Amino acid sequence: MNALAGRPVLEVENLTRHFITKGFFGREEHRVRAVDGVSFTVGAGETLGLVGESGSGKSTTGRLVLRLDDATAGRIHFEGQEITSLRRGQLRTMRRRMQVVFQDPYSSLNPRMRVGDAVAEPLEAHGIIKDKKARQEKVADLFQRVGLNPRFATRFPHEFSGGQRQRIGIARAIAVEPRLIVADEPITALDVSIQAQIVNLFMDLQEEMGVAYLFIAHDLAMVRHLCHRVAVMLRGRIVETAATEQLFADARHPYTQALISAMPIPDPDREQARQRIFYEAVTPPADARLQEVSPGHWVLDQA
Ligand SMILES: Nc1ncnc2c1ncn2[C@@H]1O[C@H](COP(=O)(O)OP(=O)(O)OP(=O)(O)O)[C@@H](O)[C@H]1O
Ligand SMILES: [Mg+2]
């Protein structure tokens, strides 16, 4: 049996990233604990949702996992290999197996590059496609898989709507058949009417390819629909993590309860009766530890 079988695709252990910033006059130094000892795993074909208020460290976590930024401490294993301290040249294989989809598809596409070329670029960079015909066929296939007409491949990014551009970004990400996609708020910038379509596309592709997602998001309703498990971040820490249904049925941390209570309910009667829970965010004490309250459901100690 393969040594990797059953092992999570991604294992993050005590991941930490502190930023030292200087004050306005360049004297006083200030330490921002953007990510402060975060641990989680993402299984093969699984979706882990990372949620939490603005500034809680979600994007920094994503960037560390992608090795776009260097951790202050902690370890990242991807497909069983420690990638935390790989150097640029050694990251190549990992870069192919782990892809990214960003929030703003427009800024992540080169405006002067035909979208078909943008989708083919990672295939060429990794030497997967050799000749022109194979390239054209592969691009057409990828366009189809993300719900775009292959004839659009010769157009430029500005000729597409936001939702279509995000489809192009997704086609580019899946082109090299990654095992993990880090998606940082991939639907936040889209019209509400388009968001569900893109979420469904992510789900369909997962079913087809068995790809895992680390899905960073604000919208808890989407997270509930898409994610198998959820981790809630607050000020650089995970305060609660559980299987999605467990988390929504039995949230234990007051911050999670507050987030869930802020979700609108689509039924008007129940929406009217909805009780908001307010939680004044406090930085979790440094010595607080996650406790397992039921299998797979972890909650940070409260002071
Ligand atoms: N390069 C940097 N230098 C200094 N501080 C940074 C840097 N990048 C992020 N931070 C700080 O780290 C903290 C976490 O930022 P991060 O972008 O990870 O949050 P986030 O959860 O993704 O927020 P949002 O929901 O707004 O996207 C914030 O306080 C942010 O200001
Ligand atoms: Mg962010």
Is pLDDT at 1 greater than 60 in this prediction? no
Ligand 2: distance of its center to the CA of 129 in Å?
Answer: 34
List pLDDT tens digits, range 184-216. Answer: 999 998 988 899 999 999 999 999 999 999 999
| Residues framing ligand 1 (Cβ under 6 A) | 19, 21, 32, 34, 52, 54-60
Ligand 2: distance of its center to the CA of 201 in Å?
Answer: 22
Is pLDDT at 6 greater than 80 in this prediction? no
pLDDT of residue 230: 98
Q: Identify whether the C-beta of residue 244 lies closer than 8 Å to the C-beta of residue 227.
A: yes
More confident residue, 303 or 69: 69
CA 212/CA 206 separation, integer angstroms:
7
Closest ligand 1 atom, residue 63 Cα = 18
Residue 275 — very low, low, confident or very high, per pLDDT cuts 50/70/90? confident
CA 126/CA 93 separation, integer angstroms:
9
Which residue among 16, 59, 64, 259 is best mutated to probe the pocket of ligand 1, counting the most ligand atoms within 8 A of its Cβ? 59
List pLDDT tens digits, range 40-81. Answer: 999 999 999 999 999 999 999 999 999 999 999 999 999 999
* Verdict on whether the full-model pTM lies above 0.85: yes
Is pLDDT at 291 greater than 60 in this prediction? yes
Please give the average per-residue pLDDT across 257-273, as a whole number: 90
Which residue among 17, 19, 38 is best mutated to probe the pocket of ligand 1, counting the most ligand atoms within 8 A of its Cβ? 19
Is pLDDT at 3 greater than 70 in this prediction? no
Count of CB atoms situated within 10 Å of the CB of 116: 22
CA 127/CA 143 separation, integer angstroms:
20
Ligand nearest to the CA of 61: 1
Closest C-alpha to ligand 1, atom 1 = 19
Ligand 2: distance of its center to the CA of 237 in Å?
Answer: 15
Q: Identify whether the C-beta of residue 214 lies closer than 8 Å to the C-beta of residue 46.
A: no
The string of DSSP codes covering 110-163 is -TTS-HHHHHHHHHHHTT---SHHHHHHHHHHHHHHTT--GGGGGS-GGGS-HH
Note the CATH architecture for domain 10-300.
Answer: 3-Layer(aba) Sandwich (3.40)
- Residue 60 φ/ψ, nearest 5 degrees: -60, -40
Ligand 2: distance of its center to the CA of 186 in Å?
Answer: 11
CA 67/CA 97 separation, integer angstroms:
13
Q: What is the CA radius of gyration of the chain?
A: 20
Closest ligand 1 atom, residue 218 Cα = 25
For residue 89, what are the contacts with CB-CB under 8 A and spacing of at least 6?
A: none
Closest C-alpha to ligand 1, atom 4 = 19
Closest ligand 1 atom, residue 56 Cα = 21
Where do the structural domains in the chain lie, given as residue ranges?
A: 10-300
